[in-house]
Structure 1
Amino acid sequence: MWSNRLIGSFVFIALTLPAAATAQDIRAGVRDTKPVVPPQAASPLTPEARADIFMARKMYREAVETYLETKPPNAVVYNKVGIAYHQMSDLDTARKYYERSLKLNSKYAEAINNLGTIHYAKKNYRRAVSTYQRALKISPESASMYSNLGTAYFARKDYKRATESYEKAMSIDPEVFESRGSHGVLLQERSVTERAKFHYYLAKTYAKAGRTELALLYIRKSLEEGFKERKKYMQDSEFETLRSLPEFEDLMKLEPRVL
């Protein structure tokens, strides 16, 4: 017969062992077992991280208030505050915060780029071009900045430089015109007045890069938006390889309803 004291000892040992303990561990007095360490509590989110969540939810005013809880605010935070005001269409306040960001870090290319989007929105396209060029001197491998530069040239009807900028942007990031990411720290300008012509130039850029599917997509978009110079698709050398495709032939026969 086991004594009550011995049974009690075994019960105590069994209850305090990890689930993987074996009978041999019990007989050996649970040697080599490691103490269970309770998980550490997660670190609280910083004001900037909480504000980023508000931005993702498009709660821009709440984002501004939370970003400014960062003490002291830094160049990145001021730039993000500018973006939040930009999304609320308060361009003057957005500009003030981009400029505050640049006072803290004059080489912050993203804030310079975003300042260029203010000039673009105010239709000061010449100044937008020079601002994007200034940003690119600091960050020459930014596809989004080259895209913005191209769009500013496009607004000035300088289609040659616009196309060159778009091609450079695509060489850096093939998905630069297709990506739809979060706001982050850099704005990519997507508003143009001549959308039909803009999509013609995107089709041309994709065709030159050999990206047939996207070239056909933007040909269709340009026609749906009322592009009147359909003959360019039959004349421009960039579309030569597409002309033998049934999809291209169908598009040229199509009379799409203008959106």
Structure 2
Amino acid sequence: MFPPIRTALLLLIATVPAFAQQAASSVAGPTETAVATTEIKPPTIADPALVQPPSEGIGDLLMARGRYLAAIHVYEQLTPTAPILNKLGMACEHMLMFERARQSFDGALKLNPKYAEAYNNMGTLAHSQGDLSRAEKMYKKSLKLKPSSANTMQNLGALYYAEHKYKKGDAAYKEALAIDPQILEHSAHTGIQTNTKADAASELHYHMAMTYAQAGSRAMALDYLRKAIGEGFNDRNRLLHDKEFADLRTTDVFLKMVDDLKKN
């Protein structure tokens, strides 16, 4: 005979496997049936600003989708750190709310005087308003703090092109491409890229084609040549004599471009 306590323990141990098996059966059965008979549908994507608490990530998502007013609404509800104020300024600049953008960039720099991205964005703001001297000053301040910023270097190059300082513009674009070979193909999340005026667009794209050709990227060079020609570039003589296109002159595509200019 076992003592009463030991007998109780043995009975308990003996019943655990049976209980566990029954519990597992009762839980697994309906679940497996539900999976087999219920159609799984993708979740509905709603406006994240309406269904989630405001956060920097939500603001960034809205910015990426071009929802700048919604992004402003989100950033305004967050603690005003230098990065948040910088992003708020970017959203305001995209919406042409220039004074509000300037105040936001100023606020970011007061919190962090060495915040390179805010100086870059102050530069794009001045550039868009026609103050090229201040824009250059801001770009150079940004590059002094962060020399490896391809985005800011590209903006400086665009500024030089706007001033018809093509050699300086070429040098700046070459440096931007050396830092990031894909800089012209994607948007930087930490800054704003300046837009070129329509009357200078063909010249800008022609020089970008020269830069890519010299870097050995034939496909990109030809792509920007097409853009330049589409925007009005028609100087056949330059195409035939600029040394940067020496290698391209052996390709049928380039020669056809030259021939089409001649016909036009």
- TM-score, normalised to structure 2, is 0.79
Q: Partner of 1:190 in structure 2?
A: 195
Alignment partner, residue 65 of structure 1: 73
User: Relative to structure 1, is the Cα distance of residues 213 and 8 closer, same or farther in structure 2, using a 3 angstrom cutoff?
Assistant: same
Could you tell me which runs of 5 or more consecutive residues in structure 2 were left unpaired when the two chains were aligned.
Answer: 1-11, 26-51
Equivalent of residue 58 in structure 2, options 30, 45, 50: 50
Question: Can you list the C-alpha shifts for 1:11-70, whole angstroms capped at 9, x where unaligned?
Answer: 31214569xxxxxxxxxxxxxxxxxxxxxxxxx866222222222333222222221222
Q: Does 1:235 align with 2:241?
A: yes
Q: State the one-letter code of the partner of 1:95.
A: R
Query: Cα deviation per residue 1:214-244 (whole Å; 9 max; x = unaligned)?
Result: 1111112211211132211110111111111
Change in CA separation of 1:53 and 1:230 when aligned onto 2, cut-off 3 Å: same
Q: Which residue of the partner structure matches residue 112 of structure 1?
A: 119
Residues 253 and 8 of structure 1, relative CA distance in 2, 3 Å threshold: same
Between the aligned partners of 2:54 and 2:71, the Cα distance in structure 1 is: 12
- Mapped partners of 2:214, 2:22: distance in 1: 72
Per-residue Cα deviation, 1:119-176 (whole angstroms, up to 9, x for no partner): 1001111221111011000000011111000011111111110110000000111111
Structure 1 unmatched ranges of 5 or more: 19-43
Say whether 1:169 aligns with 2:195. Answer: no
Q: Distance in 2 between matches of 1:118 and 1:95?
A: 7
Q: Which has the higher helix share?
A: 2
Write the letter of the residue equivalent to 1:119: A
Counterpart of 2:257? Answer: 251
Percent identity, aligned pairs only, is 34
1:224–1:256 CA contact under 8 A, matched in 2: no
Whether contact under 8 Å (1:48, 1:67) holds in the other structure is yes
Counterpart of 1:156 (choices 147, 163, 168) is 163
Please provide the CA RMSD for this pair. Answer: 2.5
